[in-house]
C-alpha cells in the first residue's frame, strides 16, 4: 500500500496522458470508435478519482472545488464530449502529480537527514577509547571524531580541525575550526582525527533539533492547505448557477458542460500552492524554516513584532568585556591565556567566552592537565607547571575585600556583567567581566522591518528596566516592556494582538508560551534544541536575526504572487465561462483553452522561485576577504582598548608611575592607529560600495578623533617630568584616557554594526555572479 500511495499520482498522470494521446492518434487514423473508447476511459478514470477526493473533503468538513471537476466529467460523459473529458482528466492528474512530487522531495530530504543522524560515539577514557551509544554522551566527555565521521554532539575542538558543515549550512566548502572553537553536531570531520569536548547531550544538540524541525515542518505543511478552499464557497455556486442559466437559455446541456469544463479551477488547485511552496523553498535557502503555507501567509500579514531580549536582540551567550588584574599579578594577557587554557576542557557555557576571547587576541593556548571540577565553586588544574583556579570570588579570594575586588563588583553591578575570578599558583590574579552584547545585526534588522512594512516593534523581557531600556535604545524599538515574567509576556501579546496581527521573536524555554500565543512565533534555534523552536511557526537555523526581515519579504512576495496567479487564472476562466455560456466556446475547445490558462497561472506562480530583492546587498569575494582580514585586526584592537581603561584605573596621585602609560601609548601607536588607518583606507570604501557613502561618515569622523586623542596623549606624556608627576598631571591623564576609551568603545560598536555585521559569519562560496549577498 505504501508503494502504491507513493506512485499512484504518477500512474494516474501517465495513464490519463496515454489515453488522451492514444485517442488522438486513433482519431487521426480514422478509428473514431477506438478514439472515443480511449477518451471515455480517461474520463471515467478522472471521474472516479475526483469523486473520491470530493467525498474525502466532505468527510473532513472542508470546502472543495473538486465538485466542479466531478460535474464537468460527468457532464462530458452525458453529452458525449469525450475529448473534453479526457483533457480535464489530464489537467487533474498533472495537478496531483505536482503536489506529490513536492511531498516526495520533502520525504526524501527528511529520510536523508534521519539516516545521517549519529548513532554512536567514541569516548576517550585515559589511553582507552570506548565505543558508546550517542545517548550515553554527557557534557564534559572527550570524544574522538575520525576522518569522515559525523560529530555526534555539540562540542569544542581540542585541536584545529577541518569540517564539512553542508548538512547544516548548505555551503559545500570545508570550514577550518581552530583549537578551542565550537563545533556543532551533524557536521563531518573533513580532516585528520580530532578530539572534541562534548558541551551538550545528543538530544539537545543542533542536528537533533534540525531533524525535529524538518519533521514538524513536513507534518504541518502536508496535506497542503489549499488557497482554493477559501474560494470554493463562492466559486462553486457561481459556476453551477452560470451553467444552469446557460442550459436554460440555450435548451442544451452541452452549454452547461462547456461552462463546467472551463471552470475546472486548476489555477486555484495548482498556482496558489506552487507560489506558497516556492516561498517556503526560498525562505529555507536563507536559513528560515517556515512550518507550512499557513505560517508563511500569517508571517506575510504581520504588523507588530515583539522581541525577547536575551538570545534574540543580544547574543544570548556571554562574551569577555574586560579583565581586571590584582596588584602584583601577571599581565592581563597572561592571566587570560592561563584561564582560557584551563577552560578548554570545560563544558561550562562561560568557558567558551574565555576561550574565544583568548583565541581572538592571538594567545597561544596549551592543553591543561590534572583538571578537576569542584562542584559549586569552579575548576582547577595545571597549565604547564602553573596551577590555575577559576570560579567564584569566595573560592579565589577568601574572606578578604581588597580594593580591586570592590572595583570588580561595582563595575559588574553598573554594567550588568557576570564575573569569573582567577587564581594563579594559589594567589588571586584578577577577574573576568562577561557581558551579553547586543547583536551587531539587530539595529539593521529593526530598520529593515520598518522598510518591509512593520508598523510597531516592542521589546518585552524579564530583565530589569535599566538594561532593557539601554538595549531598546541601541536597536531602536518603539517600546520597551521590562521585568515581565512569562505570564506578563502573554498579556503583552494579547494586548498587541487586539489591535494588530503580531509576530513574536524569542529564544528560550520561557518564550514558548508567548510564541504559541502570537499570530506567528519566530524562534532562534541556531545553537540547538529549545522548547521555543517546538512552539514556533517559523524557526531561524542561522545565527542572524536579520534573516527575519528577509523572511517577511519572501512571505509577502509569495502571497502577492499567489494572489496574482489566482486572479489572472480565475479571471481568464470566468471570461471563458461567459464565452462558453453564450455558445462561443464548445467543450473541446474550452478544455484546450483551460489547459493554456492553467499553464499561464502556474508560470506566474513559479515567479516566486526567482531571486528577488531582499534587504541584502551584493558583496564581492574580494570585499568579503578584506573585511575578514580587517576583522582580525579589529578584535585585537578591542583588547588594546580595554587596556586603556585598566591603565586609567591604575593611575594614582601618589607615587604615580608612568611606565604603564608609556607602554600603552606604544601599543596604541603601533597597533590601534595603524588599524584605524587601514580601516579608513580599505574598510570604509568597502562599506561605501555596499551601503553608500553617507553610511561611512560617522565612522570616518571617529577614526580622526581616535588618532587625534592618541596624538594628544603623546604630547601630554612628553610634557610630564617622570620624576615629578603632579596630581594635576594624573588628573589630566585620567581624563584623556577615559575620554579615549569612551570614543574607542563607541567606534568599535559602530564598526561591528555598520561594517562587520555585513560579513557572513562563516566563509561561504560565491554565487555564480561571484558575489555574496549580505544584509543592508
Catalytic machinery residues:
308
Cα–Cα distance measured from residue 198 to residue 205, given in angstroms and rounded to the nearest whole number: 10
**With b meaning 16 or more CB within 10 Å and e meaning fewer, what string describes 246-271?**
bbeeeeeebbbbbbbbbbbbbbbbbb
With vertex at residue 598, the alpha carbon angle to CA 597 and CA 599, rounded to the nearest 5 degrees, is 90
Residue 191: strand, helix, or coil: coil
DSSP state of 138: -
C-alpha pair distances (Å), 413 with each of 410, 416, 423, 582: 5, 5, 22, 82
Count the Cβ atoms, other than its own, within 10 Å of residue 312. 27
Q: How many CB atoms lie within 10 A of CB 735?
A: 12
- Across the strands, what pairs with 194? 145
Q: Which residues of 497-525 are buried (b: 16+ CB within 10 A; e: fewer)?
A: beeebbbbbbbbebbbbbbbbbbbbbbbb
Order of strands across the sheet that contains 161-164 = 175-177, 161-164, 188-189
Q: Which residues pair with 378 in a beta bridge?
A: 374, 391
Q: Which residues contact 469 (CB under 8 A, 6 or more apart)?
A: 480, 482
Q: Which helix (H) or strand (E) holds 221?
A: helix 206-221
* Crossing angle (nearest 10°) for helices 293-301 and 547-581: 110
d(CA 534, CA 539) in angstroms, rounded, equals 9
Cell of 51: 469523486
Q: What φ, ψ does residue 538 adopt, rounded to 5°?
A: -130, 135
Rounded to the nearest 5°, which phi and psi values hold at 746? Answer: -65, -45
| 287 DSSP assignment | T
Alpha-carbon span 685 to 302, nearest angstrom: 36
CA 684 to chain centre: 27
CA distances from 283 to 52, 302, 606, 742 (A): 34, 16, 15, 40
* Residue 399 neighbours by CB distance under 10 Å: 5
Phi, psi values for residue 558, rounded to 5°:
-65, -45
Burial of 382 (0-12, 13-18, 19+ CB in 10 A): middle
CA distance 396 to 392: 6
Chain-centroid distance of CA 583 in Å reads 55
Angle, vertex CA 489, rays to CA 487 and CA 492, nearest 5: 115
Angle at 636 between CA 350 and CA 619, to 5 degrees: 100
Which run of H or E residues covers position 607?
Answer: none
Q: Which three cell numbers stand for residue 246?
A: 446557460
| Whether 39 contacts 81, CB under 8 Å | no
What DSSP line would sit under 445-507, residue for residue? Answer: HHHHHHHTT--EEEEE-SS-HHHHHHHHHHHT-SEEE-S--HHHHHHHHHHHHTTS-EEEEE-
Cα of first residue to Cα of last residue in the chain, in angstroms, is 51
Q: What is the largest CA-CA distance in the chain?
A: 119
C-alpha distance from residue 466 to each of 396, 747, 755 (Å): 30, 23, 28
Amino acid at each position: 500500500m505504501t508503494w502504491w500511495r507513493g506512485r499512484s499520482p504518477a500512474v494516474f498522470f501517465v495513464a490519463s496522458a496515454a489515453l488522451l494521446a492514444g485517442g488522438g492518434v486513433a482519431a487521426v487514423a480514422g478509428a473514431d470508435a477506438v478514439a472515443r473508447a480511449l477518451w471515455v476511459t480517461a474520463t471515467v478514470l478522472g471521474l472516479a478519482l475526483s469523486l473520491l477526493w470530493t467525498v474525502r473533503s466532505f468527510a473532513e468538513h472542508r470546502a472543495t472545488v473538486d465538485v466542479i471537476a466531478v460535474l464537468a466529467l460527468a457532464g462530458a460523459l452525458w453529452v458525449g464530449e469525450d475529448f473534453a473529458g479526457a483533457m480535464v482528466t489530464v489537467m487533474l492528474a498533472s495537478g496531483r502529480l505536482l503536489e506529490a512530487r513536492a511531498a516526495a522531495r520533502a520525504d526524501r530530504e527528511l529520510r536523508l537527514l534521519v539516516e545521517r543522524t549519529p548513532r554512536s560515539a567514541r569516548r576517550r577514557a585515559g589511553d582507552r577509547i570506548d565505543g558508546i551509544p550517542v545517548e550515553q554522551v554527557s557534557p564534559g566527555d572527550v570524544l574522538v571524531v575520525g576522518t569522515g565521521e559525523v560529530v555526534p554532539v555539540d562540542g569544542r575542538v581540542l585541536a584545529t580541525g577541518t569540517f564539512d558543515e553542508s548538512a547544516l549550512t548548505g555551503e559545500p566548502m570545508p570550514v577550518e575550526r581552530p583549537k578551542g572553537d565550537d563545533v556543532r553536531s551533524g557536521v563531518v570531520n573533513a580532516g585528520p582525527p580530532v578530539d572534541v569536548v562534548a558541551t551538550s547531550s545528543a538530544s539537545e544538540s543542533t542536528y537533533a533539533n534540525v531533524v525535529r524541525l524538518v519533521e514538524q515542518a513536513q507534518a504541518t505543511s502536508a496535506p497542503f492547505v489549499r488557497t482554493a478552499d477559501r474560494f470554493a464557497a463562492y466559486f462553486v455556486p457561481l459556476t453551477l448557477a452560470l451553467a444552469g442559466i446557460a442550459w436554460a437559455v440555450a435548451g442544451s446541456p452541452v452549454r452547461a458542460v462547456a461552462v463546467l469544463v472551463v471552470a475546472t479551477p486548476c489555477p486555484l488547485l495548482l498556482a496558489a500552492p506552487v507560489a506558497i511552496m516556492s516561498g517556503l523553498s526560498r525562505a529555507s535557502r536563507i536559513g528560515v524554516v517556515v512550518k507550512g503555507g499557513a505560517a508563511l501567509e500569517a508571517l506575510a500579514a504581520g504588523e507588530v513584532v515583539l522581541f525577547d531580549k536575551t538570545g534574540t536582540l543580544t547574543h544570548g551567550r556571554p562574551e569577555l568585556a574586560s579583565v581586571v588584574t590584582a596588584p602584583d599579578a601577571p599581565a592581563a594577557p597572561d592571566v587570560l591565556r592561563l584561564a582560557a587554557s584551563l577552560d578548554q576542557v570545560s563544558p561550562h557555557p562561560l568557558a567558551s567566552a574565555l576561550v574565544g576571547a583568548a583565541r581572538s587576541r592571538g594567545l597561544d593556548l596549551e592543553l591543561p592537565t590534572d583538571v578537576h571540577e569542584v562542584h559549586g565553586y569552579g575548576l582547577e588544574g595545571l597549565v604547564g607547571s602553573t596551577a590555575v583556579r577559576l570560579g567564584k570570588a569566595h573560592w579565589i579570594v577568601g574572606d578578604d575585600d581588597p580594593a580591586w575586588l570592590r572595583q570588580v563588583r561595582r563595575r559588574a553591578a553598573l554594567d550588568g556583567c557576570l564575573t569569573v575570578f582567577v587564581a594563579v599558583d594559589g594567589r588571586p590574579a584578577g577577574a573576568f567581566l562577561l557581558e551579553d552584547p547586543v547583536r551587531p545585526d539587530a539595529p539593521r534588522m529593526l530598520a529593515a522591518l520598518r522598510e518591509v512594512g512593520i508598523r510597531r516593534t516592542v521589546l518585552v523581557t524579564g530583565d530589569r528596566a535599566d538594561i532593557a531600556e539601554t538595549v531598546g535604545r541601541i536597536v531602536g524599538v518603539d517600546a520597551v516592556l521590562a521585568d515581565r515574567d512569562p505570564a506578563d509576556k502573554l498579556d503583552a501579546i494579547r494586548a498587541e494582538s487586539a489591535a494588530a496581527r503580531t509576530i513574536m521573536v524569542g529564544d528560550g524555554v520561557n518564550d514558548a508560551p508567548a510564541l504559541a500565543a502570537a499570530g506567528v512565533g519566530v524562534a532562534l534555534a541556531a545553537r540547538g534544541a529549545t522548547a521555543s523552536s517546538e512552539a514556533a511557526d517559523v524557526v531561524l537555523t542561522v545565527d542572524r536575526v536579520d534573516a527575519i526581515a528577509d523572511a517577511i519579504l519572501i512571505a509577502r512576495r509569495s502571497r502577492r504572487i499567489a494572489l496574482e496567479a489566482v486572479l489572472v487564472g480565475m479571471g481568464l476562466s470566468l471570461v471563458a465561462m461567459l464565452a462558453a455560456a453564450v455558445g462561443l466556446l464548445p467543450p473541446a475547445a474550452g478544455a484546450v483553452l483551460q489547459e493554456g490558462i492553467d499553464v499561464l497561472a502556474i508560470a506566474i506562480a513559479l515567479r516566486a522561485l526567482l531571486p528577488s530583492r531582499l534587504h541584502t546587498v551584493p558583496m564581492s569575494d574580494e570585499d568579503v576577504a578584506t573585511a575578514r582580514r580587517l576583522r582580525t585586526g579589529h578584535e585585537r584592537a578591542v583588547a588594546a582598548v580595554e587596556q586603556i581603561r585598566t591603565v586609567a584605573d591604575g593611575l594614582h596621585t601618589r607615587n604615580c608611575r608612568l611606565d604603564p602609560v608609556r607602554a600603552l601609548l606604544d601599543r596604541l601607536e603601533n597597533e590601534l592607529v595603524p588599524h584605524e588607518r587601514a580601516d579608513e583606507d580599505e574598510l570604509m570604501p568597502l562599506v561605501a560600495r555596499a551601503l553608500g557613502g553617507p553610511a561611512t561618515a560617522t565612522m570616518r569622523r571617529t577614526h580622526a578623533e581616535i588618532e587625534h586623542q592618541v596624538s594628544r596623549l603623546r604630547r601630554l606624556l612628553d610634557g610630564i617630568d617622570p620624576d615629578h608627576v603632579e596630581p594635576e598631571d594624573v588628573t589630566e591623564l585620567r581624563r584623556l584616557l577615559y575620554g579615549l576609551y569612551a570614543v574607542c568603545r563607541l567606534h568599535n560598536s559602530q564598526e561591528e554594526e555598520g561594517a562587520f555585521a555585513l560579513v557572513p559569519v562563516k566563509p561561504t562560496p560565491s554565487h555564480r555572479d561571484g558575489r555574496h549577498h549580505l544584509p543592508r
